Structure 1
Amino acid sequence: MDDIKKQQDTVSGATARRADARWAVVDLFCGIGGLSHGLQRAGFEVTAGVDADETCRYAFEANNGATFVGRPLEEVSGEEIAALFPDDAGRVLVGCAPCTPFSPYSAGPGRPRDKWSLVDLFMDRIAAVQPDIVSMENVPRLKSFKKGKVFRRFLERLEGAGYKTSAEVVNSADYGVPQDRRRLVVLASRLGPIPVPAPTVVMHATVRETIEHMPALAAGEVDTADSLHRVSRLTPLNLRRIRAAKPGRPWSEWGDQELLSPCHRRETGASYKNVYGRMEWDKPSPTLTTGCFSFGRGRFGHPAQDRAISLREAALLQSFPQGYEFTAPEDPVWFARVGRHIGNAVPVALAAAIGNTIRTHIREHAA
C-alpha cells in the first residue's frame, strides 16, 4: 500500500513540475505553418514541423522560427519526432492529415480515396511519441468517411492509450476567422478532460473589414509594394461574367444565357452553384480552397472590383497576418503553389483558439 502511495506521489510531483516547465509543440503535416503560428500566438514554443511538401519550407521557417523536416511522415519515425522535443518540455503533438480524400471536391470517379491511412499513421506516431496533449484538425467529412470507421478507430486508439478526448465540428468564423469554414477539431490529453474551444467572438469578422483596405487592382495586376497582392488574369468571357455577377448571388441569376458555361447549360450542371460568384462585403467569405485565386473555381470574386481576390487577400481571409511571408524574396510567386498553401492551411485564429484552450487546460490540470 505504501509503495502504491509512493508511486502516486511520484506521478503527481512530475505532473506538478511539468506545469511550470516548457511546453513544446511539434506540428505534423505542418504545411506553411498556420497551425503552428496560431499556437505560437497562444504562447507555445513550436520546435519543428514535418511535411512532405518541400515547397512549404521557406514559409514555415521564416514565419515561425522552427525547424522544417521535409520528408513524408512515413519516413519519419516516432523516435525522430520525440527527439524534436526539448528534454525538459511537456509535449504537444499536433497535426492535420491531408484532408483532400475526405473533401466533397475529391468524391468524383477515379479520384484517390486511400489517403485516409494518414490518420492511422498520425496515430502510430502519437503512440510512439506519447505526447501529453494531442490536437488534430480536419474536414468534417472525416467523421462519416467509410461509415465513420476511420474516425472511430482514431478516437478508440487515443482513448485506449490513456487520453481523454473531445471532438466537434466548428465554424472557424466563431473564432475570429473572416470565413465560413467548418472544421473537425479533436483534442486529447493525458492530464484530464479537455474541451473543444468555445467560440471566441459574437460578431463574425467580415470580408470588408479584412480586405477593403487593400490597394485596388485590375485582373492580372500585381501590387508593386507586395508581390503576394497579385491577381490572376481573366479571359474576355470571364470578365463579362464577373461584371454580371452580384455579391452573394449565383450564376443562375445571370440574365445573359451566353455567359453560362456549357456544363451549366446541362441539367446535370445546375447544382454547381458555388462557382463564378462574388463575395459579400458584410459577411465572412465562403470557404477558401486551393483554387481561391480563381474566379471560375468558387465564389472567389472580389465584392466590388472586377477580379478574383488576390493571394494576399486570400491569406488575410485565412487570418494570416499581413506580413506573413509565403515565398523567398528572390523566388517567383506561382498562383497554383501559393494558392494550394493558403487553401490547405489551418486558419491562424482558429489555431490560436485551440492553443489558448490547451494553455487553460494545462493550468487547470497540470498544476
Structure 2
Amino acid sequence: MSEIACIDLFCGAGGLTHGLKLEGVNVVAGIDVEEACRHPFEANNEATFINGDVSKLSSEFVGGLFGDADVRILAGCAPCQPFSTYSHRYETAGTPRWGLLYHFSRLIRDTRPELVTMENVPSVAKHSVFSHFVEALQELGYHISQQIIDCTHYGLPQSRKRMVLLASKYEPIAIVAPTHSRATTVREAIGALPEIEHGASSEIDLLHTASRLSELNLERIRASRPGGTWRDWPEHLVAACHRRDTGRTFPGVYGRMVWDTPSPTLTTQFFGFGNGRFGHPEQDRALSLREGAILQGFPQTYSFVPKGQPVGFKGLGRMIGNAVPVTLGEVIGKSIRSHLDCVFGSVEEATTEERHSRVA
C-alpha cells in the first residue's frame, strides 16, 4: 500500500509532478486534455497519464485513482490564461476555462483529500472564482495558506511569480522559506549548452533547436545588446508599429536576455525573437526549446517527444511555456513533506489509525 498518493489535475508535461516526485511525494496519475502531454509525463515520471477533460471527470473516477492511500493529495494548476492581466481583454467570466476552478472545487468536495494544492498567476486572487474556491475549502474544514512566490528565491533561473495555495485537513500548513539568497542566472542555467545557429539543431540533443530568423530579424538581433530594446536599433530596423505613438511605450519585445540575471518570465512564444526578451545573450537567435525547458526547471535530459518524432515549435513551446516550473513543484513537495513530518513525526512510520485520527 502506498501511504501517500497524489493526483495532478491539468498536469501538462509534468513539471509539478516531477518536482513533487523529486521531494518524495508519490504522484500516481496526471490528467490533462492535451494528448501530446502523455509522452513527457509518462516517460519522465513513472506515473499514469489520463487524457481527459477535468470538467467531465466524475468524482468516483478520481477518488478511485487514490487507491487505498491514507494521505491523499489533489493538485490542480488550472490554465492561467483566463486570470492573466493580458487576457482580460479577450476572456470573460463566461469563457469555459474560467469554470475549471469550480470543477476542481467539485472534485475536492466529493473526494475530500487530506491535502490540496493549486498554483496560478498572482492576479488569480482578484477574481471571484478564486474567492469561491477558497470559501469552499474553508467550509470543508481545511486549513489554508496562500502566498505569492518569487521563484528566483528558490533557485529557478527565471523571474516568475506565482500564487501558491496549500490546504490541509490536519493542521495549519505553510510554504517553506526561501532556499536561495542569490538568484540563479541565465549563464549558470544554459551557458554550457552547445552553440547553435538560428534555424539549426544540436546533433546530440534535437530539442536544442532554435527557430529560423528572417533576414530582417537577423539584422535586428545583431543590432541588439543584452538588456536593451528596439530603441537601440538604427531607424531603418524599427518596426512601423513601434514608430507610431501608440507603439513607442512597448519596448519589451525584440530583446536579448542578460547572462548574469535570471531570464524574463517565459511565455508560450519564448522561441520567437520578436515575442519578448527571448533573444540569446550573445548568439544571434532566440532561445532554443531545450533552453526554455531548462529555464522552467526541467532537467536537461527531460524527454518531450518520442525518439524519432519531429520537434514542433508551436506545440512544444506551448507545452513548455505553460508548464508549472519543476522548481516550484519541488517547493510545494518540500512544503508538503515538512507539513506531514510535523503532523506525524514521519508519515511513513505513522500507523493508519494515526493518519486517520489527525484529519479535522
The residue aligned with 1:34 is 15
Asked if 1:25 is matched to 2:9, the reply is no
CA shift for structure 1 position 111: 4.7
Per-residue deviation, residues 88-147 of structure 1 (Å, max 9, x unmatched): 331011010001111233233x45652221111111111111110001010111112xxx
Matched residue type, 2:325: P
- Which residue of 148, 167, 188 corresponds with 1:188? 167
Q: Is the 8 A contact 2:5 2:69 kept in 1?
A: no
- Which residue of 162, 177, 188 corresponds with 1:209? 188
CA shift for structure 1 position 21: 6.5
- Which residue of 115, 118, 126 corresponds with 2:108? 126
TM-score by length of 1: 0.91
Q: Is the 8 A contact 1:291 1:340 kept in 2?
A: yes
Asked if 1:170 is matched to 2:149, the reply is yes
Task: Point out where structure 2 has 5 or more consecutive residues left out of the alignment.
Answer: 346-360
SS at the partner of 1:284? coil
- Which residue of 67, 80, 86 corresponds with 2:67? 86
Alpha-carbon separation, structure 1, partners of 2:163 and 2:340: 22
Alpha-carbon separation, structure 2, partners of 1:230 and 1:279: 17
The residue aligned with 1:200 is 179
The residue aligned with 2:58 is 77
- Which residue of 317, 325, 336 corresponds with 1:347? 325
The residue aligned with 1:273 is 251
Task: Point out where structure 1 has 5 or more consecutive residues left out of the alignment.
Answer: 1-19
Identity of aligned residues (%): 49
Q: Is the 8 A contact 1:218 1:307 kept in 2?
A: yes
1:21–1:221 CA distance, 2 compared to 1 (3 A): closer
Range with greater deviation from structure 2 (180-189 or 72-81):
72-81
The residue aligned with 1:47 is 28
Matched residue type, 1:39: L
Per-residue deviation, residues 265-304 of structure 1 (Å, max 9, x unmatched): 1111123221100110000000001001111101000001
Q: Is the 8 A contact 1:132 1:189 kept in 2?
A: yes
Q: Is the 8 A contact 1:200 1:353 kept in 2?
A: no
1:235–1:175 CA distance, 2 compared to 1 (3 A): same
The residue aligned with 2:350 is none
Asked if 1:319 is matched to 2:300, the reply is no
Alpha-carbon separation, structure 2, partners of 1:21 and 1:335: 38
The residue aligned with 2:225 is 246
Matched residue type, 2:123: R
Q: Is the 8 A contact 1:176 1:350 kept in 2?
A: no
Q: Is the 8 A contact 1:179 1:317 kept in 2?
A: yes
Runs of 4 or more above 4 Å deviation: 110-113
Range with greater deviation from structure 2 (287-296 or 148-157):
148-157
Asked if 1:141 is matched to 2:123, the reply is yes
Alpha-carbon separation, structure 2, partners of 1:289 and 1:202: 26
The residue aligned with 1:231 is 210
Per-residue deviation, residues 224-274 of structure 1 (Å, max 9, x unmatched): 1101000000001101111111111222232x1121122111111123221
CA shift for structure 1 position 197: 3.0
Alpha-carbon separation, structure 1, partners of 2:323 and 2:104: 18
Figure out how many residues of one structure are paired with residues of the other and give that number: 343
Q: Is the 8 A contact 2:254 2:279 kept in 1?
A: yes
SS at the partner of 1:91? strand
Asked if 1:56 is matched to 2:28, the reply is no
1:101–1:82 CA distance, 2 compared to 1 (3 A): same
Range with greater deviation from structure 2 (264-273 or 61-70):
264-273
Per-residue deviation, residues 311-363 of structure 1 (Å, max 9, x unmatched): 00110101100100000112111000110011001111111011011101001
Q: Is the 8 A contact 1:242 1:306 kept in 2?
A: yes
Matched residue type, 1:192: E
SS at the partner of 1:94? strand
